[in-house]
């Protein structure tokens, strides 16, 4: 078994981006600028945004965090998005999800200017992804593809089972893996909560991408020997032995599954850091598009 080390790969990507930013600044240009909107005080979201800010600093990007109370109205949030759409100093921005339930998430995503939608969530960018046109590929699927590319994992003709059909991960990664590209050219099955014979289906997977949001859902008896396993899950589980009072647990029972795999990601050094690096890549792209 070999680890797919997203921490290591993402360090390389950040170094590559940093070089590009240094070249921009050396020529007198301003650095790329990412803004993140954080609504409320969800602990995990706070953490994710803090990491995004830290990553920006590391590669030489400017960043702005916009903190809004969880009591904010939908209209107030839409007004803020409109401001960011029209702010020439901001190249790209994200609204950290989830947002409070009284705000309609689709309305928020629809309001983001597609040129600044570095999350790749809005309909134009998702449509371009489906059509194979240039776009911002959302960060988690892009990070997974980059990991497969950098480790030279054979995907052509393989059976890839994707567990989960979310807009952010399951659906776009299925599109990317089935595309006529490298990595890609896999035969893809999307599985979800209503899928019959899930265990048998998983056992037929050469590549198993798990984004189902249930801790340690995939157990060793569901994995074919030699499979490539990508764990997108990251759930906080209370743990008094940790300083933070919790530990992050993936959707895969790593300790037992790892014995059966050819390659596997681990939480939190697998898909998470690759997702963050992809957001930086998209922000650089937004800057270059002008
Ligand atoms: N919440 C969990 N993942 C993401 C992401 O990739 N982007 C945003 N905006 N929110 C998230």
Q: pLDDT at residue 149 above 90?
A: yes
pTM over 0.85: yes
Q: Tell me if residue 7 is catalytic.
A: no
Residues with a CB atom less than 6 Å from ligand 1: 94-97, 119, 139-140, 168
Is the same domain home to 71 and 146? no
- On whether residue 283 sits in a domain, the answer given is no
How far apart are the CA of 275 and the centre of ligand 1, in A? Answer: 9
3-state secondary structure of 139: helix
The rounded Å distance from CA 96 to ligand 1 centre is 5
Residues 42 and 156 both lie in one domain = no
Active-site residue, 119 included: yes
- Percent residues over pLDDT 70 in the chain: 100
Q: Is 239 a catalytic site residue?
A: no
Instruction: Judge if 200 and 163 occupy the same domain.
Output: yes
Q: How far is it, in rounded angstroms, from Cα 273 to Cα 247? A: 17
Q: How far is ligand 1, taken at its centre, from the CA of residue 139, in Å?
A: 8
The pLDDT value recorded for residue 154 is: 98
pLDDT at 2 over 90: yes
103-114: average pLDDT: 98
Average pLDDT over residues 13-23: 98
Report pLDDT digits (tens) over 241-280. 999 999 999 999 999 999 999 999 999 999 999 999 999 9
Distance 78 CA to ligand 1 centre (A): 18
Calculate the average pLDDT of the chain: 98
CA-based nearest residue to 223, from 187, 263, 260: 260
- Is residue 160 situated within a structural domain? yes
Instruction: Please report, for residues 9, 65, 104, the alpha-carbon distance to residue 68 in angstroms, rounded to integers and kept in the order given.
Output: 33, 10, 16
Residue 171 sits in the same domain as residue 102: no
Any idea what the CATH number is for the domain that residue 34 is in?
3.40.50.10860
How do residues 212-249 score in pLDDT, each as one tens digit? 999 999 999 999 999 999 999 999 999 999 999 999 99
Q: What is the largest CA-CA distance in the chain?
A: 59
Mutate to test the pocket of ligand 1, among 44, 119, 137 (most ligand atoms within 8 A of CB): 119
Name the residue range of residue 232's domain: 139-272
């Amino acid at each position: 078994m070999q680890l797919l080390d997203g921490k290591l790969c993402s360090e390389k990507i950040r170094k590559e981006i940093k070089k590009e930013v240094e070249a921009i600044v050396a020529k007198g240009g301003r650095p790329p600028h990412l803004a993140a909107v954080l609504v409320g005080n969800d602990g995990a979201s706070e953490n994710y945004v803090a990491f995004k800010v830290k990553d920006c600093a590391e590669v030489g990007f400017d960043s702005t965090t916009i903190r809004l109370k969880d009591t904010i109205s939908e209209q107030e949030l839409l007004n803020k998005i409109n401001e960011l759409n029209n702010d020439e100093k901001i190249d790209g921005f994200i609204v950290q999800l989830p947002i409070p339930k009284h705000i309609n998430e689709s309305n928020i995503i629809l309001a983001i200017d597609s040129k600044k939608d570095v999350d790749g969530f809005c309909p134009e960018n998702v449509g371009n992804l489906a059509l194979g046109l240039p776009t911002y590929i959302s960060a988690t699927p892009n990070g997974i593809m980059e990991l497969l590319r950098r480790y030279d994992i054979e995907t052509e003709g393989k059976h890839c089972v994707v567990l989960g059909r979310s807009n952010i991960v399951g659906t776009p990664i299925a599109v990317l893996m089935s595309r006529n590209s490298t990595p890609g050219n896999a035969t893809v099955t999307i599985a979800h909560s209503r899928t019959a014979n899930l265990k048998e289906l998983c056992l037929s997977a050469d590549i198993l991408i798990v984004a189902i949001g249930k801790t340690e859902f995939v157990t060793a008896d569901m994995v074919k020997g030699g499979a490539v396993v990508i764990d997108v899950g990251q759930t906080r589980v209370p743990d008094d032995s940790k300083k933070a009072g919790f530990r992050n647990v993936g959707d895969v029972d790593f300790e037992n599954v790892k014995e059966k795999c050819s390659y596997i990601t681990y939480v939190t050094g697998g898909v998470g850091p690759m997702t963050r690096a992809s957001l930086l890549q998209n922000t650089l792209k937004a800057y270059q598009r002008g």
